[in-house]
Amino acid sequence: MTLKLYFGPGACSFVPHALLETHGIEFEPIMLKLHKGEQYEPAFMQINPRSQVPVLIDGKLIITQVMAIILYLEAKFSNAYFFPSDPAERAKALEIFAWMNNTVHATFMHIFMPRKFTDHEPSQIEIKKFAVSQYRLHLNEIQKYVQVSQELGKEWLTGGSISPLDVYALTLMRWGTMAQISPSEFPLLWSFVQRVGDAPGVKRAIVRERLQLDVSQKS
């Protein structure tokens, strides 16, 4: 039975989307236009009452949350590379993955959707401003992970194959440009992210989602 992935262009669902493409796993992509509020339509809310992407459907199984989806794919497609197999290296990779998901991603939500944190509009402006400064620190930390991996001679963040960390790094850098953080502030991270975007599976997901990596001039 074919997997189904609900995704929003440019959203965190890009992480499972690009990994499914990278590994040539058959799936049906289903696009939701988040800016049009399609995640709040009753048919989708029956699938995910939290009104969020990504959602992966495998038969009767409905999985939400980037981390749960990625770990499910890793367990199901055991020949495909997601994380290192060495226990210590795997733990360190999962540590960064969890931080990207629960901290960097969450910080961006304060920039992109400050209304989720207060309905007081002047406070929303303050929340957003402070979150942009925090987000820069996070991008700097990701850039350091790129630097360390390159010093160790690794092609990608966890070794010789693309992992969810590389694709998340691309997504988070791209979101930074949505917050008017210029790629020129993070030259090493930016050149890395462009290389990730050129990897064939990642590129297919970029084309399907019609993404530009630097949107700082658009908004």
Figure out which of the listed residues 39, 107, 163, 177 binds ligand GSH, where binding follows CB under 6 A: 39
Residue 48 binds to ligand GSH (criterion: CB under 6 A): no
Piece of 8-16, 73-81, 120-128, 143-151 that binds ligand GSH (CB under 6 A): 8-16
Figure out which of the listed residues 38, 51, 208, 213 binds ligand GSH, where binding follows CB under 6 A: 51
Residue 199 binds to ligand GSH (criterion: CB under 6 A): no
Neighbouring residues of 61: CB distance < 8 A, sequence distance ≥ 6: none
Residue 101 binds to ligand GSH (criterion: CB under 6 A): yes
Figure out which of the listed residues 34, 100, 139, 170 binds ligand GSH, where binding follows CB under 6 A: 34
Minimal distance, residue 44 CB to ligand GSH, in Å: 10
Figure out which of the listed residues 52, 107, 158, 163 binds ligand GSH, where binding follows CB under 6 A: 52
Minimal distance, residue 203 CB to ligand GSH, in Å: 21
Which residue is listed with tokens 């402070």? 130
Nearest in space to 208 (alpha carbons), one of 4, 29, 25, 3? 29
Task: Give residues in contact with ligand GSH (CB under 6 A).
Answer: 8, 11-12, 34, 39, 51-54, 65-66, 101
